[in-house]
Structure 1
Amino acid sequence: MRIGDLALVAGVNAQTIRFYERRGLLPSAARETNGYRWYDDASTSRLRFIRASQAAGLTLGEISSIIALRQTGETPCAHVTTLLAGKLETVRARQRELALLETELQHLIEASQSLDPADCPAGSVCQIIPQPQP
């Protein structure tokens, strides 16, 4: 199939496919006699893998490392599990940070209910958000 067909099937644009080729994530496409790129089913499968991996939070560098393992004949399952476990820990850490931020925001909103805008000092931007002391 041509690049436009592959892009349609995979839900990306042709520029993305060319970019993945330049990065080595997709093998270079065969060329027709007229110079058009020609992609096989393996390219479709690879592109879907890349997109699913990105949806799981993997970077292009991490995806490249998985593909490289597969290309050497190794099964990358242990490597993928390690990468995904790292992503999960990152998500959990971010959730903890967001929970703290949620608490702080709720506290500020509650505190703002008892503040009178007329009491806001002239040199202050907004008394709801306290400025740290030097």
Structure 2
Amino acid sequence: MATLLTIGDAAKASGLTAKMIRHYEQSGLLQKPARTDAGYRLYNSQQVQQLSFIHQARQLGFSLHEIQSLLQLWQNPQRESRVVKQLAEQHLADIARKIAELQNMQQLLQQLADSCSADSSPHCAILAALAPQAAD
């Protein structure tokens, strides 16, 4: 007989929290587990593997929708690796876009911080730049 794990043990084995496991069940990423007569969840080894897979994919920043697609591909022995690569490359492009946005934000905020005189006067170049301009 296969070993079944409680949600706490499944959390430890997968690197997730029990709260996140329940969330992934509710979102449909993970099939509802068996339950004891007392209502405790029991996870089989396949479900724990799925949880570890989900955890790794989340660590890489994949969305729940993307993880659903990756799980389907992972579980399909007839999959084509090019589809998996396309998903990964799209995610890489998204990450590159976000990095560029963050770098732009950093540069703008640095310019604002550099324009601050940081003295005892009430005038603040940072606040002035953030405030909406009054219409004439």
TM-score by length of 1: 0.72
**1:112 maps onto 2:116 in alignment:** yes
Q: CA RMSD in A?
A: 2.9
**What's 1:65 paired with?**
69
Change (3 A) 1:35 1:85: same
- Which one has a bigger Cα radius of gyration? 1
Q: Distance in 2 between matches of 1:76 and 1:28?
A: 28
Q: Distance in 2 between matches of 1:11 and 1:78?
A: 29
Gap runs ≥5 in structure 1: 121-125
**What's 2:85 paired with?**
81
- Which of 14, 17, 21 matches 2:18? 14
**What's 1:49 paired with?**
53
Secondary structure of the residue aligned to 1:61 is: helix
Higher relative contact order (CA 8 A, sep 6+): 2
Gap runs ≥5 in structure 2: none
Secondary structure of the residue aligned to 1:58 is: coil
Q: Distance in 1 between matches of 2:35 and 2:132?
A: 63
**CA positional deviation for 1:132:** 5.8
**What's 2:9 paired with?**
5
TM-score by length of 2: 0.71
Between the two proteins, the alignment pairs up a number of residues equal to 128
Does structure 1 conserve the Cα–Cα contact (< 8 Å) formed by 2:14 and 2:48? Answer: yes
